[in-house]
A = this chain, B = another copy of it.
Amino acid sequence: MSGSWTVGRYLITRLEQVGVRHVFGVPGDYVLGLMDEIVDSEIELVGTCNELNAGYAADAYGRVNGIGAACVTYAVGGFSILNAVAGAFAERVPVVVLCGGPNRSDRDQHRLLHHTLGDYGVQVDVFAHVTQRSVGLSSGEAAPDEIDDAITACVRHRRPVFIEVPADLVTEECRPPEPIDFDLLPPSDPDVLAEAVSEAAEMLGRAESCVVLGGVEVHRFGLGEQLEGLLDHLGWPMATALMGKSVIRETHPNYIGVYSGALSEEGVRRTVEEADAVLSIGAWMSDINLGIYTAQIDVGRLIHATADRVQIKRHYFDNVYLGDFIAGLRDALPDGSSRGPRIQPAASSLFESFEPVSAAEITIERFYQRINHFLDEHHVVLADAGDSFLCAGDLIMHEGVGFICQAFYCSIGFTIPGALGVGLADRSRRPVVFVGDGAFQMTAQELSTLIRFGVAPVIFLMNNRGYTVERVIHDGPYNDIQNWRYHELVRVFGGGFACEVRSEGDLEIALAGVRKHPDELSFIEVHLDPDDCSAALKRLGAALAKQRFS
């Protein structure tokens, strides 16, 4: 690879350098030249059925791989992928969105080109609202800096960026790429860091009982091992918020479960709420993540560290990075300082036996109890927004990156294309999807892309005939949906293993079938009573309804 460089080759080379191995997208004439560059590279181009689904796949891929990418055409593609990009922005997932655009000469002549809206800059303006950086490449001379600036912003801030490439610019010559450290964070301010660590250590040292609350940013900034080291050092119990689920392996003896206010399992709730000090590491204090503000954590007992800021009680320390703060605490606190209540590890639920009653109708509660014994370290769970992620919160994840959900942005339909991203990001692990029927209908066609690319997820379609979450919040005819023969879709889209479950006996047969088809997409349609939902959902619904209509 020597000689002259082009803007297209430069851009794709940079993607390779930051670890992108797959790009999800849909072709269109403005972007075919750029797609040729991808086809000619080490990166695999993964065609999805539509652009929104490409965005969801790239997001989920980014959660596992560290960074994701999508490639779509002008306007009809860009505007269609927007919601997925907004989700990645809200949940801090680094995704590079490449988009074709009209030739520069056509722009200058203000031609009425297809897919355009009069103002050719409209896409870049729109994406500025939901990305860390939104840029239209301007020339062969400027493009390398524009590209490097955008990709650096993506990696450093763990947020999506948008790069629009005029079709005629792809083949234009540019300078070769120079070495660059994309992930170079500025150091924490040493004095602020020292003061924050000192005050936190003093507060934690005085407390009779401490608990750690782990959150999603531990995963985004790759601090799982560091946090596990701190936990081993201190011996305190640790819970996670729902979005932070699985930031450390959940078989860790100090891990006690998901904390989400009044929705939590009682033992977890009391351990967190009754501790003298709560050390929150990378958690977001958002509504659903913390049980719709039913969380009872007294700010006077709280140390709340996020990406680049530490809050202790009611004051803030800026320019303190999460990793530096964890390292500082580890040095400042004595080891073995286990205090507070005896720890009841979450993983102990794995020792409760499950005896199926063949003829018994399947219920949500019994279903997830059974699944807890089915999952192993080769699985990655994706739980769609709704009862699926509330129930799946109680499942035990064996590995660090075992659980993926959108518990803040909550865009339903994320998990089917998400399984495509996860499956391609790590071929050694099998995605396991829990998705309701309403969510599934949003993005159902992406089953076909899973089959096409040989990804073999296990999909549990929880058919309870409608938008169950909405029913619980506030019911009306709008919560009904058309019932499908869901499991038959597998055959329509090209094959795999599919079956239906109505009883506990059916579920045993289905799980045996899943194990017999390790290399094929498995699709289990679970028929549930429309009124059956988790106890947590009932509590959530009551809390949401009160907020919305109060």
Contact = CB atoms under 8 A, between A and B. Distances in A.
Interface of A: 25, 27-30, 32-33, 35-36, 39, 45, 47, 49-50, 52, 75-76, 79-80, 82-83, 86-87, 89-90, 103, 106, 111-117, 119, 122, 125-126, 129-130, 167-168, 284-289, 293, 408-413, 441-445, 448-449, 451-452, 467, 469-470, 473-474, 476-486, 488-489, 491-494, 544, 547-549
Contact of A478 (B32, B482, B485): B32
A315 to B, nearest CB: 18
B548 A484 contact: no
B29 A117 contact: no
A92 to B, nearest CB: 11
10 contacts: A32-B470, A32-B476, A32-B478, A79-B82, A80-B411, A82-B83, A90-B116, A452-B482, A482-B493, A484-B494
Contacts of A27: 467, 470, 476, 478-479
Nearest to A489: B492
B448 A103 contact: no
A473 to B, nearest CB: 5
Contacts of A481: 47, 49
Given A83-B80, A126-B129, A408 B114 contact: yes
A415 to B, nearest CB: 14
Contact of A476 (B35, B482, B488, B491): B35
Contacts of A122: 129-130
Contacts of A50: 413, 441-443
A494 B486 CA distance: 10
Contacts of A413: 50
Given A444-B445, A491-B485, A411 B76 contact: yes
Contacts of A474: 29, 32-33, 36
Contacts of A126: 82, 126, 129-130
Nearest to A123: B129
B492 A484 contact: yes
Nearest to A25: B478
Contacts of A49: 441-442, 444, 481
A410 B115 contact: yes
A210 to B, nearest CB: 25
Which A-B residue pairs are the 10 nearest by beta carbons? A112-B286, A79-B83, A452-B482, A49-B441, A76-B411, A80-B83, A27-B478, A50-B442, A32-B474, A448-B482
A83 B90 contact: no
Contact of A477 (B39, B80, B106, B293): B39
B488 A494 contact: no
Given A445-B445, A491-B488, A113 B76 contact: no
A49 B86 CA distance: 20
Given A445-B445, A484-B492, A29 B470 contact: yes
B76 A412 contact: yes
A47 B480 contact: yes
B409 A45 contact: no
Contacts of A548: 29-30, 32-33, 103, 167-168
B76 A409 contact: yes
A35 B474 CA distance: 11
Given A106-B547, A114-B410, A483-B494, 17 more contacts: A27-B479, A28-B470, A30-B548, A36-B474, A36-B476, A49-B442, A76-B411, A76-B412, A79-B83, A79-B130, A112-B285, A112-B408, A115-B411, A122-B129, A442-B445, A448-B484, A484-B494
